Amino acid sequence: MAPAPVQIADDGAVRTVTVNRPDKLNALNRATLEALDAAFAGAATDPGVRVVVLTGAGPKAFVAGADIAEMNGLSPVQGRDFSLLGQQLMRRIERMPKPVLARINGFALGGGLELAMACHLRIAADTANVGQPEINLGLIPGFGGSQRLLRLCGRAAALELCLLGSPINAARALQLGIVNEVVGVEALDARVAALASQLATAAPLALRGILDAIHVGGECALGEGLEYESTQFGLMFATEDMREGTAAFLARRPPVFQNR
């Protein structure tokens, strides 16, 4: 029996979701996309999970792209359906009510970069390479790459990566704003664990409010975004966590948030 394409492991409130196809450089086929979608749907509703870390199995790749062997035989309608399946997953990750960290341990190309960009924070090893090489296959990005690159790093960089199809190193990705941080490969696990731990002890309802406000604000006019922010801000005053956070600040002690 073939191993499951996605593995799930919990460490306290941190859930790690691993794309588990190292022999295929963790390429995304339909089964893997569906398994990832189910994994994130489960994490979203699990009260014991406060943070999700997404990574790829093996030392070479986060996710090296979509599965080209599977795509090669698709009809136009099947190709569109494959794109919609991938976009459904990316939207689910992007709209997760809990922070999602991408641990980019190697190649993040094509669908792999699209997967990483759907996450809320991206930490890359200094050996990582990212890119949208679909042009070299006679394709365009299909899981949201053109749109998220545009929003993350602007028109010039989005056109550069999509039109030229050449991968860039982690330092260049950091310069463009595609990743949040680059660390030595030997320090990657410790850095991701530290960030996940920090987020796991933060106020969960406030985290959700921030994620919602930034996502909504990125898709609407400034006035609408400001109104939404004010509404979310006001809702925090109905939470016990807000009372705990402010009381802890005044008492000069660490807060203990209860997600209520």
6-200 CATH fold: 2-enoyl-CoA Hydratase; Chain A, domain 1 (3.90.226)
Catalytic residue status for 94:
no
Question: Residue 125: which of 148, 100, 108 has the closest Cα?
Answer: 108
Question: Residue 102: which of 130, 86, 121, 128 has the closest Cα?
Answer: 121
pLDDT (tens digit per residue) in 161-189: 999 999 999 999 999 999 999 999 999 99
Q: Which of 94, 114, 186, 229 is catalytic?
A: 114
Q: Which CATH code for domain 204-251?
A: 1.10.12
Under 8 Å CB-to-CB from 129, ≥6 apart: which residues?
A: 106, 107, 108, 109, 167, 168, 169, 170
Question: What is the rounded distance in angstroms from the CA atom of residue 146 to the CA atom of residue 219?
Answer: 15
pTM over 0.85: yes
SS3 218: coil
Residues of the chain with pLDDT > 90, as a percent, come to: 88
pLDDT (tens digit per residue) in 69-99: 898 989 999 999 999 999 999 999 999 999 9
Catalytic residue status for 134:
yes
Paired tokens of 182:
């680059």
Residues 9 and 15 sit within 8 Å (Cβ to Cβ): yes
List % helix, strand, coil for the chain (3-state, nearest 5): 55, 15, 30
For residue 11, give the amino acid letter.
D
Q: Where are the domains of the chain?
A: 6-200, 204-251
Residue 237 CB burial class (10 angstroms; 0-12, 13-18, ≥19): exposed
Q: Which of 70, 94, 134, 160 is catalytic?
A: 134
Paired tokens of 111:
């669908």
pLDDT (tens digit per residue) in 103-151: 999 999 999 999 999 999 999 999 999 999 999 999 999 999 999 999 9
Question: What is the rounded distance in angstroms from the CA atom of residue 161 to the CA atom of residue 149?
Answer: 9
In the predicted model, is pLDDT for residue 2 greater than 80? no
**The domains spanning 6-200 and 204-251 adopt the same CATH topology:** no
